[in-house]
Amino acid sequence: MKALSLFELNNLVREVISTAFDNEYWVEAELSELREVRGHCYMELIQKELFSNTPVAKASAKCWKNKWQTLRPKFEKVSGQYLHAGLKVMLKVYPDFHEAYGFSWIVTDINPEFTMGDMARKRLEIVKQLQAEGIFDLQKELELPLFAQRIAVISSANAAGYGDFCHQLNDNSYGLKFYTRLFPAVMQGEEIEQSVIAALNKINQRMDDFDVVVIIRGGGATSDMSGFDTLSLSENVANFPLPVITGIGHDRDESVLDMVSHTRVKTPTAAAALLVDHLQEVYERVLDAQTELLTSVRHRMEMEKAQLQHLGEKIPMLFSLYKERQETMLEHRLQALTTAIQTHLVQETHRLEQLKQGIKPTIEQQMMRENYHLSLLSQRVKSLDPTLLLHRGYSMTMLNGRIVKDKSLLKSGDEIETILENGTILSIIK
């Protein structure tokens, strides 16, 4: 039995495939991998089970350079997205089997409307999830601070949009001052979600330092927007405690991030203009309040001045009337005081006269009583005279000029003096 060579077998397969599949087919699949090599695009297609991530079919696809240069810009323009892994696509393909390189599908067309429908469905699912969690409108309930001057900016440091934002903000025609701090983040590609959430976490740690958060993107491809349509990023923005303004630079479809933000504008410069206009409006309100306050103060001062002038004109007349009343009152009080003094003097004079008449008998009686009392005291003093006792035969013993009343006070050697009626005896105690 003669065997076929591998080339002959593969050639046979190629002829069978080209004969059996002589048409082009539209196929729905998910891109699991996409790469460009020398202008050609190489794709890996996959189909998963409905309620799991288990692959049920895989295939390779190619889009040659001459087609790819036309299909890619058309897809990005219509869908607003770039082709990347994880995106669902509808491709027009035909089979190709090469003896040396094997089987692959050759892509001749891409349906951007299918991808747009799939993205819209994903956005709708995310919106429903946020609404079910009760956080979809949380940002709308926040109020933009009156003096929103401290701005936390999430953007790529080298993005043209960030430079435009700062220029528009700082060089405003009103001379208003703003203070910005950049929190760098990746603003295109698959790292958008993780990078922006990390920046939000850093801002949250210093929340008291800022009034508002601005997420801006500029200078990148308008098709590179899928990173802003994720549930996790939308949840973080919806729950953020400060108002979040988005200006991520696209006009076609509103991203979920735009939907949940406090305010959505189209471009970074529009975000700066919003902040400038808001602060200018507040400044004008302050000026209006200042003018109203000054007008009110001037009016009140004029009223008070007129009232003071009116009172000033009445003061001389009122003072004259008051002076006259006071002088009359003082005259009446002086007359009453004089009368009262005269009456009191008469009463006291009469009282003194009565006292004068009654004091002499009282003094004479008191002197008689005192004389009698002195007489009694004199007799008592005479009765207590020591000389009378000596005259009766008594004596007095003295020690150091003091009368000795207790013999225990004497000791051997003391010199005592005994006083008699006639003479003195000195003795020494043995």
pLDDT digits (tens, 9 = 90+) for 163-177: 999 999 999 988 999
Q: Is the pLDDT of residue 215 over 50?
A: yes
Angstrom CA distances, 102 to 68, 139, 315, stand at: 21, 55, 118
The model's pTM: 0.54
Question: Superfamily for 124-282?
Answer: Hypothetical protein af1403; domain 2 (3.40.50.10550)
Separation CA 22–CA 173 (nearest Å): 67
* Residue 350 falls in which region: left (phi positive, over 0), alpha (psi -120 to 50) or beta: alpha
Q: b/e map of 25-34 (b: 16 or more CB within 10 Å)?
A: eebebbbeeb
Across the range 237-265, mean pLDDT stands at 87
Domain formed by 6-116, architecture: Beta Barrel (2.40)
pLDDT in tens, 13-59: 878 877 777 789 999 898 889 999 999 999 999 998 876 667 889 98
Average pLDDT, the chain: 85
Separation CA 99–CA 89 (nearest Å): 28
Q: Is the pLDDT of residue 315 over 80?
A: no
Instruction: Kindly indicate the confidence band of residue 251, based on its pLDDT and cuts at 50, 70 and 90.
Output: low
Across the range 319-335, mean pLDDT stands at 85
Separation CA 227–CA 248 (nearest Å): 11
Higher pLDDT, 191 or 252: 191
- CA-CA-CA-CA dihedral for 81, 83, 84, 85, to nearest 10: 120
Across the range 177-203, mean pLDDT stands at 91
Instruction: Kindly indicate the confidence band of residue 224, based on its pLDDT and cuts at 50, 70 and 90.
Output: low
pLDDT in tens, 103-135: 889 999 998 888 777 777 777 788 899 999 999
pLDDT in tens, 372-389: 888 888 888 777 677 777
Please tell me the predicted confidence (pLDDT) of residue 222.
47
Domains of the chain by residue range: 6-116, 124-282, 388-429
| Sign of the CA dihedral with 169 first, then 170, 174, and 176 last | positive
Please tell me the predicted confidence (pLDDT) of residue 275.
96
Instruction: Kindly indicate the confidence band of residue 61, based on its pLDDT and cuts at 50, 70 and 90.
Output: very high
For residue 412, the cross-strand partners are none
Instruction: Kindly indicate the confidence band of residue 310, based on its pLDDT and cuts at 50, 70 and 90.
Output: confident
> In terms of Cα–Cα distance, which of 155, 161, 159 is closest to 196?
155
pLDDT in tens, 267-302: 999 999 999 999 999 999 988 888 888 888 888 888
Across the range 290-317, mean pLDDT stands at 83
DSSP string, 2-42: PPPPHHHHHHHHHHHHHHH--S-EEEEEEEEEEEEETTEEE
